[in-house]
């Protein structure tokens, strides 16, 4: 559910936001705007399904805004003011408001509005584009934990599982992008091109901007390290790209910059699962614990955060999985073992899961895909010695 809150009153924004984030069993993506002009722009970019608009300080401009917001037929526009009158209610309803929200805000009122919106969308969901693709965001605020390697191989495994034009990999690491070299890609179009076209971006244009990873068929929106975006874009522009991707592909993997920034939080809002990648070493675990504390404070529920213990090796004196769980106070559902073949694959510009399909690390990534999608992989046919050697030779020579 995509929710926009427009109000110049901080208290109103905070009250509505807090109640929405406590909704059980729902993935809620939130944006807030302090001005009506900013709110109208966000409603367009964010494709808001519910708009709470507070007219306490500007009724006339608010009435005009309601008319624009309500032009999307299956959008719930909810109006609020500190002091109601019959004239105010009739004017806002004529302008297109569907619900009136009293102040101070009550939790039950918000819940009823959410329920009515769900009924509205179920009955008339063709007027706004469906955004049903699942997003898995790979994140860590510490570099070097294997986040990008995991993102690439996770996307390739999804591609192997679900086939052509069903999976996309987006490089949202705006400071140090590495997906293109890791997959040995030479893109002609980049993330910056999608940013430049975000106002008219749709599924067809997004597909044109993708680079195809020929060995797998994966669609990749790469980012160029030679021309970083820097400060020339906003969180909402990148959110629009992710929204369009959710309506274009069934599965989307996003790689990110290792910083708990407003940009990454805006992407987390649209993600179905946040894959928090860490290692069994003290600095990485301290970082992961801090990330978990911040994400919980920001309102992200436990069912949206999955800890990935990456590059794990069971040797005497190493931190055990049980100790990692105890340290983080979080269950470890997926352990990806360390394997030197990951380095070999990265240096070769070939995905590990394609180059070394019989390694334990490849099996672990396949198990992760099983857990994320609920779709088990088909059992692979065993290779004999000659078949395995021929496959390895083809991989080394990049022959498909």
Among 91-95, 107-111, 126-130, which stretch is predicted with the lowest mean pLDDT? Answer: 126-130
CA atoms within 13 Å, Cβ hemisphere of 50: 27
Higher per-residue confidence, 84 vs 95: 95
pTM metric for this prediction: 0.77
pLDDT single digits (tens) 286-322: 999 999 999 888 778 788 899 999 999 988 778 899 9
Residue 105 CA, distance from chain mean position: 29
Looking at residues 246-253, what average pLDDT do you find?
95
CA angle at 46 for the pair 45 and 48, rounded to the nearest 5°: 125
CA separation for the pair 356, 168 (Å, rounded): 22
Residue among 309, 375, 379, 369 at smallest CA distance from 154: 369
According to the model, what pLDDT value does residue 303 have? 84
CA separation for the pair 326, 308 (Å, rounded): 15
According to the model, what pLDDT value does residue 231 have? 45
Is residue 375 scored above 90 in pLDDT? no
CA atoms 325, 310, 238, 76: torsion sign: negative
According to the model, what pLDDT value does residue 128 have? 57
CA separation for the pair 293, 283 (Å, rounded): 16
DSSP 88-132: HHHHHHHHT--EEE-SS--HHHHHHHHHHHHHHHHHS-SSS----
At 397, the pLDDT band (50, 70, 90 cuts) reads low
According to the model, what pLDDT value does residue 129 have? 63
Is residue 157 scored above 90 in pLDDT? yes
Is residue 99 scored above 50 in pLDDT? yes
Higher per-residue confidence, 34 vs 393: 34
User: What letter would DSSP give residue 385?
Assistant: H
At 126, the pLDDT band (50, 70, 90 cuts) reads very low
* Residues β-bridged to residue 52: 5, 78
Higher per-residue confidence, 386 vs 64: 64
CA separation for the pair 203, 143 (Å, rounded): 32
Looking at residues 340-369, what average pLDDT do you find?
91
pLDDT single digits (tens) 43-73: 988 889 999 999 998 899 999 999 999 988 7
Looking at residues 131-138, what average pLDDT do you find?
92
pLDDT single digits (tens) 177-196: 899 999 999 999 999 899 88
Looking at residues 329-355, what average pLDDT do you find?
91
Higher per-residue confidence, 2 vs 198: 2
Looking at residues 89-117, what average pLDDT do you find?
89
At 224, the pLDDT band (50, 70, 90 cuts) reads confident
């Amino acid at each position: 559910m995509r929710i926009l809150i427009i109000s110049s009153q901080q208290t109103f924004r905070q009250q509505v936001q807090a109640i929405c984030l406590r909704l059980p069993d729902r993935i809620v993506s939130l944006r807030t705007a302090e001005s009506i002009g900013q709110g109208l722009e966000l409603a367009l970019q964010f494709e808001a399904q519910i708009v709470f608009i507070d007219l306490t300080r500007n009724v006339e401009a608010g009435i005009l805004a309601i008319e624009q917001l309500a032009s999307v037929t299956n959008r719930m526009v909810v109006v609020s003011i500190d002091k109601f009158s019959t004239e105010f209610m009739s004017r806002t309803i004529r302008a297109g408001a569907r619900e009136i929200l009293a102040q101070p805000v009550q939790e039950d009122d918000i819940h009823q509005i959410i329920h009515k919106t769900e009924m509205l969308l179920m009955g008339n969901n063709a007027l706004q584009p469906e955004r049903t693709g699942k997003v898995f965001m790979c994140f860590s605020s510490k570099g070097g934990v294997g986040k990008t390697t995991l993102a690439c191989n996770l996307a390739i495994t999804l591609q192997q599982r679900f086939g052509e034009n069903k999976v996309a990999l987006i490089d949202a690491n705006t400071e140090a992008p590495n997906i293109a070299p890791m997959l040995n890609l030479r893109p002609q179009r980049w993330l910056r091109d999608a940013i430049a076209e975000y106002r008219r971006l749709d599924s067809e244009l997004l597909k044109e901007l993708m680079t195809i990873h020929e060995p797998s068929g994966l669609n990749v929106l790469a980012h160029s390290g030679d021309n970083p975006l820097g400060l020339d874009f906003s969180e909402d522009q990148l959110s629009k790209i992710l929204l369009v991707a959710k309506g274009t592909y069934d599965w989307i993997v996003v790689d990110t910059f290792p910083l708990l920034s407003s940009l990454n939080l805006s992407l987390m809002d649209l993600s179905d699962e946040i894959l928090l990648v860490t290692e069994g070493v003290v600095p990485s675990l301290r970082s992961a614990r801090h990330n978990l504390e911040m994400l919980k404070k920001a309102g992200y529920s436990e069912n949206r955060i999955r800890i990935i213990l990456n590059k794990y090796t069971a040797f005497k004196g190493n931190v055990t999985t049980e100790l990692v769980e105890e340290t983080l106070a979080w269950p470890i559902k997926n352990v990806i073992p360390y394997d030197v073949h990951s380095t070999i694959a990265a240096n070769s510009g070939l995905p590990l899961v394609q180059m070394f399909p019989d390694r334990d690390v490849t099996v672990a990534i396949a198990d992760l895909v099983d857990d994320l999608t609920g779709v088990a992989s088909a059992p692979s046919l065993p290779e004999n010695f000659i078949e395995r050697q021929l496959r390895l030779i083809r991989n080394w020579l990049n022959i498909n």
